[in-house]
Amino acid sequence: MSNRSLISCAVVCLVFPLLSACNGTSAAPARGGRGGGGGAVPVITAQASQKDVPVDIDGIGNVEAYSTISVRSQVTGTLTDVFFHEGDFVKKGDHLFTIDPRPFEAALGQAQANLARDVALLAQAEAQLARDAANAEYSQLSAERTSQLAQRGILSKDQAEQVRAGADATAALVNADKAAVESARAQLVAQQSAVETTKVQLTYTIIRSPIDGRTGNLTVKQGNLVTANSAELITIAQVQPMYVTFSVPAMHLPTIKRHMAEGKLPVVATPQDADAQPASGELTFVDNAVDPSTDSIKLKATFQNLDRRLWPGQFARVKLRLTTIKGATVVPQQAVQTGQDGQFVFVVKADSTADFRPVTIAQRVNDDVVIEKGLKPGETVVTEGQLRLEQGTKVQKSDADGNTAGRAGGRGRGGRGPSTPREPQGRQGR
């Protein structure tokens, strides 16, 4: 054969496959397509189950003390005694500190002595009033008799006027004595108040715990001078019960309010520590305004914290349970697809064919989806391989490990069936 003939044969051998590819033909036999004569399409399936599904809202919260008290001295003096150790748990009414009481005891003694003096002065003023009142009564009677004698001409008019003037002076003295008695009484009341004030100040020298809680750092040591209402001696945090404050998107607010109207909403908080044991409480507070910068609403849950698992300042994972859907139909999220007409699943019927089924989703919970309409518990749905399916496609079911029905030890997820999957094709518009 000549060289020109050999070159012509080589060109024909190279060009023929290219022309076949351009024309959509192949020298090899065509594979079976969707439900064609090429065999069943391998898919991975799962069964729709029925169970109670909790509806939760997750968030990150901060643990807060139920109340925090800053303990300060209400009087100025030397801190003489401390009756606890830093970090101790104390009860309401426990004796914490003692301020030197001697100056206040002396002031109380002085106030009580002044009170006794004012009591004596009041008694003296009342006695003076009684004496002057008696004299005024006698002077009044004498003035009346003298006036009668002067009218008869027995006594001169001048004498009668002198007696009347003396009676008037005695009556004015009685009025002065009454004012002195009122002044003594007022002074006595003021001194009684001074005694009570001194007693109160003396009680301030003993500082007791106002709440049950855990003490913090002692900022003023024994022997130091403390000034009234200035230096903070210690803080006490009430840890039973406790608050956990967290925020959720404002879009959940109507649902939260609706479920709160039906009863208390349970909350579970899990501290972010090595021993992540959850604590149970209930929602007790919804803020009165949405934070416009984050479009979130602040919530607060109360926990009894009997085991003191929660600690002020901790961060915790919070789960707010709104409700529980009883007997819900649940499928894996991968089973639900979205098409032009909405969401759908492929159900594998008894004859191993795929059935296109529109569904309505009620809730997404973790990796599962709650189906409200379109599916019944026990039906088999396709979770992988939907792109090669359409209504009536013959399928070959496999489990999550790639083992086909009736055959153990499959080739895994990498080899799902006897034929190599074709490129995914879009569904025809439904």
- pLDDT tens profile 119-155: 999 999 899 888 888 888 878 887 777 787 777 777 7
Residue 419 within any structural domain of the chain:
no
pLDDT at residue 153 in the model: 74
Tell me the C-alpha to C-alpha distance, in Å, between residue 277 and each of 242, 273, 302.
16, 9, 17
Give how far the C-alpha of residue 57 lies from the chain's centroid of Cα atoms, to the nearest Å.
15
Q: In terms of domains, do 348 and 314 share one?
A: no
Residue 77 within any structural domain of the chain:
no
Q: In terms of domains, do 355 and 280 share one?
A: no
Give how far the C-alpha of residue 268 lies from the chain's centroid of Cα atoms, to the nearest Å.
12
pTM, full prediction? 0.62
pLDDT at residue 140 in the model: 82
Q: In terms of domains, do 305 and 352 share one?
A: no
Angle between helices 102-152 and 157-203 (to 10 degrees): 170
pLDDT at residue 386 in the model: 86
CB 302 within 8 A of CB 284: yes
Look up the CATH number of the domain holding residue 385.
Answer: 2.40.420.20
Pairwise CA distance, residues 58 & 89, whole Å: 33
What residue type is assigned to position 318 of the chain? V
Q: Residue 111 is encoded by which pair of tokens?
A: 């106030």
CB 355 within 8 A of CB 347: yes
Q: Which of 150, 185, 204 is the last residue of a domain?
A: 204
Q: Which of 204, 234, 266 is the last residue of a domain?
A: 204
Q: In terms of domains, do 160 and 253 share one?
A: no
Strand-pair category, 315-332 with 49-72: antiparallel
For 261-285, b where at least 16 C-beta lie within 10 A, e where not — what string? eeeebbbbbebeeeeeeebebebee
Task: Give the helix ranges, DSSP H, for 248-288.
Answer: 253-260
Q: ∠ at Cα 286 (294, 323), nearest 5°?
A: 100
176: DSSP letter: H
Strand-pair category, 315-332 with 368-373: antiparallel
Residue 405 within any structural domain of the chain:
no
Pairwise CA distance, residues 317 & 272, whole Å: 7
pLDDT at residue 23 in the model: 37
Q: Which of 111, 117, 119 is nearest to 196 (CA)?
A: 111
pLDDT in tens, 19-35: 333 333 333 333 334 44
- Residue position matching structure tokens 């715990």: 209
417: DSSP letter: S
Residue 31 within any structural domain of the chain:
no
pLDDT at residue 399 in the model: 62
Neighbours of 340 (CB within 10 A): 8
Q: In terms of domains, do 311 and 341 share one?
A: no
pLDDT in tens, 76-85: 999 999 999 9
Helix (H, G, I), strand (E, B) or coil at 353: strand
Residue 351 within any structural domain of the chain:
yes
Domain that holds residue 197: 101-204
Q: In terms of domains, do 117 and 192 share one?
A: yes
Q: In terms of domains, do 126 and 180 share one?
A: yes
Q: How many domains does the chain have?
A: 3
Residue 371 within any structural domain of the chain:
yes
Q: Which of 191, 169, 194, 176 is nearest to 125 (CA)?
A: 176
Q: Residue 199 is encoded by which pair of tokens?
A: 């007693």
Q: Which segments in the chain show pLDDT lower than 50?
A: 1-37, 406-430
pLDDT at residue 402 in the model: 59
pLDDT at residue 38 in the model: 54
Q: Which of 325, 350, 379 is the last residue of a domain?
A: 325
Q: In terms of domains, do 321 and 341 share one?
A: no
Tell me the C-alpha to C-alpha distance, in Å, between residue 256 and each of 29, 45, 253, 270, 371.
62, 36, 5, 21, 22
CB 359 within 8 A of CB 346: no
Q: In terms of domains, do 336 and 264 share one?
A: no
Residue 79 within any structural domain of the chain:
no
Neighbours of 65 (CB within 10 A): 22
Look up the CATH number of the domain holding residue 266.
Answer: 2.40.30.170
- Element at 241 (helix H, strand E): strand 232-249
Strand-pair category, 360-365 with 225-226: unpaired
- Residue position matching structure tokens 């759908």: 344
Q: In terms of domains, do 158 and 130 share one?
A: yes
Residue 257 within any structural domain of the chain:
yes
